[in-house]
Structure formats: C-alpha cells, structure tokens
Structure 1
C-alpha cells in the first residue's frame, strides 16, 4: 500500500494575480502535510521491518523522516497510532494491487483466497514488519479499521459489486471471520508453525465453509 507533490509555478506571486496565493496556499499546505505524513509512515515501516515494533521509537522515527519530534506527535499521538497507520498503508497497497489485477478464480471463496494469499506474499517479503504489525493488531487498544477494511475488501473480491454498504450483516460477518482466520494463520506461519502451503490450505478450507452461500 507514491506521488510527489506538484507545486504550482508561474502564477504564485504574480503582481496581477494577488488573490491566487491565498487561494492556492491551503492546497499546497495540504499536499505538504500529506507528504510529511507519508514520510513518517514509511520511516516507521522501514524501522519495523528491521527490528519490529521495538525499533519504532518515536524519536528515531522522527529523525529518519526528517521531522521534529513535536511534529511527529501532532500526526501520531502514540506509537500504536503510528502502527495503525503503517497497517493502513499496507492495506492501501493491497487494495491498489487488487484494483490493478482483480482475482479471477471461478468461485467467491477462490477469489477471497487469492486476495488473502496475495496479502500473505506481500507481508512475508518483510517478515519482521509483518510480525510487528500482526502482533500489534492483536494487543493494540487503539481503534483500528483493519478488520472492517479487510472484510470489505474480501466482499468486493468475492462478489464483484458487493460492498460493506450493500452486503447483509451475515455476509459482512462471514468475511470478517475469514479475515480473522487469516490473521491467526499468518501469525502461526511467522512463528514457524505453518508452511506457506499449509497456511494456504487452511485458508482455502475456511473460505469454502464460510463463503459457501455467497
């Protein structure tokens, strides 16, 4: 789950266009803030990929991102808020991948499995980061949209056109349960208790049962 900011040129400061700077400035500031937040999240992810959550010390993240410590705390009041942001970035990347290359399995369960195993491969490229994020999700007291976002993503993959807004409560609950199974199996894989093949097989079994009526 990267576009550089485009700063308008030529018009700002032009003597005949005195109103333009005041109108453009908020947008420029917004882009600047967005890019600064991106740098912080990327710095945190890079540190976690080498040493887990323990390596994500706020001062170290600020130094790596090139921002003042006070600025970092304005964006992320705590380390767990930062962890949640890194998780969100990973989901953004997964959603982009699904949009570019939608799963083409013949069944809803098969398409959901495709999404989850694609996510698994992506996370396992950085096992330290994956371990840090999964463990943090389990213990965090910070409100995170991870479960709902994954459930919504699985809904859209399983049945094209279906969304969290149009799905039944049961459908949303079932994809949420499948997401929970995936998190557990991924954690077992990170602990060395599952091979990739075993993880995939268990997720396939769960998907076939949970999404049988889709």
Structure 2
C-alpha cells in the first residue's frame, strides 16, 4: 500500500518547458513502475531518469500516490482517443464492452505498473490528489460518449458508476491472479450487458 498522499496541493505545469519536464517524469515513472512495482520505485531514480532535480519532482508530485495517480490519469486520457459507437456504426453497448476489454488488455500487459496505478488511485484523497477526480470524470465521460448519450440522466450516471466499479473489481482480481484473463473478459462482457442493456440498439 503506498504512503498516503501529503496534504498539500501539487504544482501544475504551465510553460512549455515545465510541461515537457512533467511528461518526462510520467514516462520515467511508468518505466520504473512497470519494472519494479510501486513499493520498490524510488523517487530519486525517477527524477534521475527524467533528467530533473528531486525538488522539481516533489513540486509536481509530493508523493508516489500523486505520481502514479497522474500516470493513471494520463493513460485514461489516452483512452479518450478511442473510436466511439457513432463513428463505427456499432451498437453502443458493444462499443463500451470492446473499449473496456481493450483497456484491460493494455493494462495487464504491464501488471506491476497497473497495480501501482490502481493502488495509488485507491489511496488518493480527492482533496489533495486532483488527478483522482480527473480519472473518475474522464472515464465516466468516455463511457457516456461511447454510449452516444448527449444528455445522460441521473440513472445513466448511476449505471456508468456501477459499471466502473465492476470493471475495476474484475481488473483487480485478474491482477491478483484470482481469475484468468478469459474469465475476466467474460465478466466484463456480462457486466456491460446487464447494466447497459436498455441502451443497446438491440433492445426492442
């Protein structure tokens, strides 16, 4: 379990140079997380690999919780480039299912990094780790957009929240070797079918 994030806000990069350093830090963190897992990652090693001073690293990321939650936020943001159901002419529920399965496969290719990100996100307090809120918001919006819902209802938000929780739980079990990948994917398909059935084009 990562150390609980320090109760102070992290700095946000603004200039081009700061943004470049920020991205180098995230890349270095992902590299070290994939190779070593959360507990064995050393902030000094990340700073050295990113070519920044340790003080710069801590200004943006006061703890490993901040750091790996930010890595996860970046990966969720990359999912937003996925093709939507409207673009594919695909059933929206099938599109969400495929998106979640592809995201799972991508994460499970680097299980130590996936565990580092998920442990950090679990430990992140929304008041001190702003990326935790970004993750929730981006993932929710991605699912709603893939469902092609321009005006989601409160019921839609609730279903999406339940689906996120189901996916997160299935992924955690897979990372902990408690379910095989094929079973995990079958569980994801079932969760999407059960929770989003009313949004399927196949519903009569």
| Range into which the TM-score falls when normalised by the shorter chain | 0.7 to 0.9
Count of residues paired in the alignment: 181
1:122 counterpart (106, 110, 121): 106
Larger radius of gyration: 1
User: What does residue range 183-194 of structure 1 map to in structure 2 within 5 Å?
Assistant: 183-194=168-179
Q: Which has the higher contact order (CA 8 A, sep 6+)?
A: 2
Following TM superposition, where does structure 1 have runs of at least 4 consecutive aligned residues deviating by more than 3 angstroms? Answer: 99-106
1:149 counterpart (131, 135, 138): 138
Structure 2 distance, partners of 1:62, 1:83, is 14
Structure 2 distance, partners of 1:191, 1:155, is 29
Root-mean-square deviation (Å) = 2.1
Structure 2 distance, partners of 1:147, 1:140, is 12
Structure 2 distance, partners of 1:207, 1:75, is 37
Structure 1 distance, partners of 2:46, 2:106, is 23
Cα 1:137–1:103 shift into 2, 3 Å = farther
Cα 1:190–1:105 shift into 2, 3 Å = farther
Do the aligned partners of 1:109 and 1:204 also contact (CA within 8 Å) in 2?
no
Structure 2 distance, partners of 1:30, 1:54, is 32
1:212 counterpart (173, 197, 200): 197
Structure-2-length-normalised TM-score:
0.81
Cα 1:101–1:212 shift into 2, 3 Å = closer
Unaligned runs of 5+ in 1: 1-28
Structure 2 distance, partners of 1:207, 1:94, is 18
User: What does residue range 3-14 of structure 1 map to in structure 2 within 5 Å?
Assistant: none
Structure-1-length-normalised TM-score:
0.77
Aligned-residue offset at 1:180: 1.2
User: What does residue range 33-52 of structure 1 map to in structure 2 within 5 Å?
Assistant: 33-52=18-37
Do the aligned partners of 1:41 and 1:86 also contact (CA within 8 Å) in 2?
yes
1:60-102 residue CA offsets vs partner (Å, 9 max, x unmatched):
2111111001111111122211111100111122222x04998
1:195 counterpart (180, 188, 199): 180
